[in-house]
Amino acid sequence: MARRAGSTGAETAEKLRNVALELFARSGYAAVSMRAIAAETGVQAGAIYNHFPTKQDLLNELLQVHMETLLAAWAEAERPELAPAEALEHFVRFHIRYHLDRSREVFISYMELRSLENENFSMIERLRRQYEQVPRAILERGAKDGSFDIIDPQISTMAIIAMLNGMTTWFRENGRLSLDEIEAIYVRLVARLVQQKKED
Amino acid sequence: MARRAGSTGAETAEKLRNVALELFARSGYAAVSMRAIAAETGVQAGAIYNHFPTKQDLLNELLQVHMETLLAAWAEAERPELAPAEALEHFVRFHIRYHLDRSREVFISYMELRSLENENFSMIERLRRQYEQVPRAILERGAKDGSFDIIDPQISTMAIIAMLNGMTTWFRENGRLSLDEIEAIYVRLVARLVQQKKED
Amino acid sequence: MARRAGSTGAETAEKLRNVALELFARSGYAAVSMRAIAAETGVQAGAIYNHFPTKQDLLNELLQVHMETLLAAWAEAERPELAPAEALEHFVRFHIRYHLDRSREVFISYMELRSLENENFSMIERLRRQYEQVPRAILERGAKDGSFDIIDPQISTMAIIAMLNGMTTWFRENGRLSLDEIEAIYVRLVARLVQQKKED
Amino acid sequence: MARRAGSTGAETAEKLRNVALELFARSGYAAVSMRAIAAETGVQAGAIYNHFPTKQDLLNELLQVHMETLLAAWAEAERPELAPAEALEHFVRFHIRYHLDRSREVFISYMELRSLENENFSMIERLRRQYEQVPRAILERGAKDGSFDIIDPQISTMAIIAMLNGMTTWFRENGRLSLDEIEAIYVRLVARLVQQKKED
DNA sequence: AATGAATGAGATTTCATTCAT
DNA sequence: CATGAATGAAATCTCATTCAT
């Protein structure tokens, strides 16, 4: 049989991306078969290859698009005019909002890095370091102008990112706290890590 | 052929555990084949089944032993007589030391939870929550007696654990900082998170 | 490689059914591997799974189709207008002809019942009992109207069926007797079992 | 560990024979593993090889012992002085009694002939034909002296044996009829097949 | 005579991928 | 662009058998 009426190639590709993202996040790249992705999408396994040359490319595209979208979103959201303290708060809020909306992308971009083959791995790693430079630069700016008292810029950066990303592990909508409340709490926790003076 | 002279069952089982741990940590449970584990251990794939009934059991045993050993190690290390501030420092040092020595166990115990089948999953989850109670109790004790100013006990607990565990991602022996230095830095970062009064 | 030009799915499935039937009859279900079926059919072992979900399903389909075809063939051949004596002769001839044409199906439908998993087993058993009702009903009709002198309807039924099926064990084309002769002999033997009056 | 107190080699061998008989009858030779036999017997798989050189030998011994015991039992039971009619009745009763006591042996001696390797197969076949000679000789004696009216000695023999053996398929202790009653019925059915004059 | 550990082959099934249609 | 059938490799696990202990 040929294409079903009402579905276009682009739609199928998008559905495949979504399903793959969901399944990779839930079970891991290696544990998800092309057939499983196909079944969930409602096509045959062979059809996937009309859209993605290999399984590896499918993962790679997901991760790369994610990282590029993230960086683009920050480029959009960035407010370089802000003082370090406000800039850090702005970043924390941006990061939490953005990452909770794409918890699956975030999850696999940390988990499945190791599933990427060499070239793909390097490219994603590079993008990730680029993003990590964002908070790091803010910390260093704040250290220089005295707004922050940073213990160690590198470790503090990693600590902040780890802390924020940890949220994707346990956050549930309709949990005890609203996203706004959680966001506010994390803003304060991060402020404490850099010993932002005005806090509390 | 039968057993090779000079090898015992316990030795083989231990070697299998070590190899599996290494490979699961490096490539993920689903991506590691029994053949690969066997090859690295120097036995035939079938021989694994003399020691572990299924691949799933092999993972499960690794995780369960890890969690139980961790809890036992803490039970040993715990010093309930310490005031909250010292108790928290003690916990941070314990956690870092213990987890860096077993970074592979820690890694897979977070990563491969999803690879566990239902019953196994529940048991490990339970043990993990039990461990998370350790810092949480210290935080609450400190909140009560005024040593700490805790923003939110639950989130602070998760934030501390996420922060500490993040280390296993980037830590390399012979890096810029020694383990002692890193430990000291984390002790201070954690102290800041709970706004421990005397710090800095 | 993909499908070879000139072969269709239905053809392959049919070839698989035939080969499996032959091999199961010759060596028994448990002793026949999917690889062996594949090799004889000229495909890879994996390709079987495009047509039958499991080995068990392959056996089950063979048995179920056999029993259903048998019942359908009888429904076609049945001549309810015949008097018991003629009806019994008609059944004996039908049974012999049908079963000799499908000696392999008959063989495995008796031998491999035990290889069927529960549900499959029950369904085949039910169909078999349905077929056994055919001679049984004739015997009872003959008992009632006095054409037959039946010793015990149930045991006589089973005895007749066992006697007839035994033939598949030793019958060889080009043996001492032609099929027509054998058929005639069995007709007379069965007549004797029910003490059909006019015989001899 | 060594031998458990209280078990001797001969006892283990006997237990193995019994268990193997049971399992072969239930699931078929090919479907029963040495480990399954061992487990049911309460020993390790390796221990079987102290008693039987191979799995094939285990089956072979069961079948050969069965056929030899059967022939010996008939040699014991045989009453050459009986007239054909009484001799046939005697044989039917002997066969039923003997075979119901060893339904598992009978079952596998028909079913697993094909699982025997060449030499073993020939030997068992020879013994089986020897036993089939028993009723055949009686039939021929009766045909000659006019006690029976045999349609075809060979087919009648096979028919009788098939009829009798069929019983092992459906016979259940505590069924509708007692063994004595069933025996009596079969005696009469067989008498009818050979058109024994005095019957009924 | 038994155990427990091993081998090497092979079981069923799944996989990523290809391609005629 | 999609299907359905195929490949060939590899997955987990089982098997008969062997042998040091």
> Is residue C199 assigned to a domain?
no
Which pLDDT score is estimated for C172? 85
- A24 in the same domain as A2: yes
- A134 in the same domain as A58: yes
Sequence-ordered list of residues with C-beta below 8 angstroms from that of D75, at least 6 positions apart, any chain? none
Nearest residue (CA) to C1' of F2: A2
Q: DSSP for D76-104?
A: HH--TTS-HHHHHHHHHHHHHHHHHHTHH
- D155 in the same domain as D78: yes
- B60 in the same domain as B36: no
Q: Which of B72, B75, B67 is nearest to B109 (CA)?
A: B67
CA gap D163, D91 in Å, rounded: 14
Q: What is the pTM of this model?
A: 0.88
| pLDDT over 80 (residue A195) | yes
Give residue D127's identity as a one-letter amino acid code. Answer: L
Which pLDDT score is estimated for A196? 75
> Is residue C198 assigned to a domain?
no
Question: What mean pLDDT do residues B70-98 have?
Answer: 95
- Show which positions of strand E are touched by protein (CB under 7 A): 1-21
Q: Which residue has the higher pLDDT, D200 or D121?
A: D121
Share of chain C above pLDDT 70, in %: 94
User: For D45-76, what is each residue's pLDDT tens digit?
Assistant: 999 999 999 999 999 999 999 999 999 999 99
- C146 in the same domain as C125: yes
Alpha-carbon distances of D187 from C78, D9, D153, rounded to whole Å: 32, 43, 18
- C96 in the same domain as C38: no
Q: Which of B18, B175, B38, B186 is nearest to B104 (CA)?
A: B18
Which pLDDT score is estimated for A101? 87
Which pLDDT score is estimated for B107? 87
CATH number of domain containing B48:
1.10.10.60
Which pLDDT score is estimated for D76? 96
| pLDDT over 80 (residue C21) | yes
Q: Which of C165, C157, C155 is nearest to C186 (CA)?
A: C165
First to last CA, chain C: 66
- D172 in the same domain as D128: yes
Task: Flag if A28 and B27 touch (Cβ within 8 Å).
Answer: no
Tokens of D184: 């009596």
Domain span at B19: 1-52
> Is residue D1 assigned to a domain?
yes
Which pLDDT score is estimated for C171? 87
Chain B nearest-CA distance from A10, in A, is 31
- A166 in the same domain as A81: yes
| pLDDT over 50 (residue D199) | no
CA of C168 to C1' of E13 (A): 35
| pLDDT over 80 (residue D1) | no
Chains that touch B (3 or more CB pairs under 8 A): A
- C125 in the same domain as C29: no
Q: What is the number of structural domains in chain B? A: 2
For residue B153, the chain A residue with the least C-alpha distance is: A185
Alpha-carbon distances of C84 from A160, C130, C132, C170, C192, rounded to whole Å: 93, 19, 16, 29, 14
> Is residue B198 assigned to a domain?
no
Nearest to D159 among C31, C149, C189 (CB): C189
Question: What mean pLDDT do residues D157-171 have?
Answer: 91
Question: What mean pLDDT do residues D175-194 have?
Answer: 94
Which pLDDT score is estimated for B6? 53
Last residue of one domain, picked from the residues A27, A52, A77: A52
- Show which positions of strand F are touched by protein (CB under 7 A): 1-21
Which pLDDT score is estimated for A1? 42
Which pLDDT score is estimated for D115? 94
For residue B151, the chain A residue with the least C-alpha distance is: A185
CB contacts of A154 in chain B (<8 Å) are 176
Q: Which of A175, D188, B45, B63 is nearest to A167 (CA)?
A: A175
Question: What mean pLDDT do residues D24-34 have?
Answer: 95
Task: Flag if D26 and C114 touch (Cβ within 8 Å).
Answer: yes
Which pLDDT score is estimated for D14? 93
Q: What's the sign of the alpha-carbon dihedral A78, A80, A81, A86? A: positive
CA of B114 to C1' of F8 (A): 31
Tokens of B46: 């079938």
CATH number of domain containing C155:
1.10.357.10
CA gap C85, C49 in Å, rounded: 49
- B158 in the same domain as B176: yes
| pLDDT over 70 (residue C5) | no
User: For D89-118, what is each residue's pLDDT tens digit?
Assistant: 999 999 999 998 898 998 898 889 999 998
Task: Flag if A166 and B167 touch (Cβ within 8 Å).
Answer: no
C-beta of residue D79 within 8 angstroms of C-beta of residue D87: yes
CB contacts of C159 in chain D (<8 Å) are 163, 166, 186, 189
Q: What's chain C's average pLDDT? A: 92
Which pLDDT score is estimated for A7? 56
> Is residue D200 assigned to a domain?
no
Last residue of one domain, picked from the residues B19, B36, B52: B52
| pLDDT over 80 (residue C35) | yes
Question: What mean pLDDT do residues A107-118 have?
Answer: 89
Question: What mean pLDDT do residues C7-26 have?
Answer: 91
User: For C109-158, what is each residue's pLDDT tens digit?
Assistant: 888 999 999 899 999 999 999 999 999 999 999 999 999 999 999 999 99
- A18 in the same domain as A74: no
Residues of B within an 8 Å Cβ radius of A = 26-31, 111, 114-115, 149, 151-152, 154-156, 158-159, 161-163, 165-167, 169-170, 176-177, 182, 185-186, 188-189, 192-193, 195, 200
CB contacts of D26 in chain C (<8 Å) are 114
CA A75 to chain centre: 15
For residue B26, the chain A residue with the least C-alpha distance is: A114
| pLDDT over 70 (residue A2) | no
Alpha-carbon distances of B159 from A166, D49, D166, rounded to whole Å: 7, 61, 75
Which pLDDT score is estimated for A157? 96
Q: What's chain B's average pLDDT? A: 91
| pLDDT over 80 (residue C8) | no
For residue C150, the chain D residue with the least C-alpha distance is: D189
- B184 in the same domain as B125: yes
> Is residue D198 assigned to a domain?
no
Chain D nearest-CA distance from C190, in A, is 8
User: For B3-53, what is each residue's pLDDT tens digit?
Assistant: 555 567 788 999 999 999 999 999 999 999 999 999 999 999 999 999 999
> Is residue C200 assigned to a domain?
no
| pLDDT over 50 (residue C200) | no
Which pLDDT score is estimated for B7? 62
User: For B109-122, what is each residue's pLDDT tens digit?
Assistant: 888 999 999 899 99
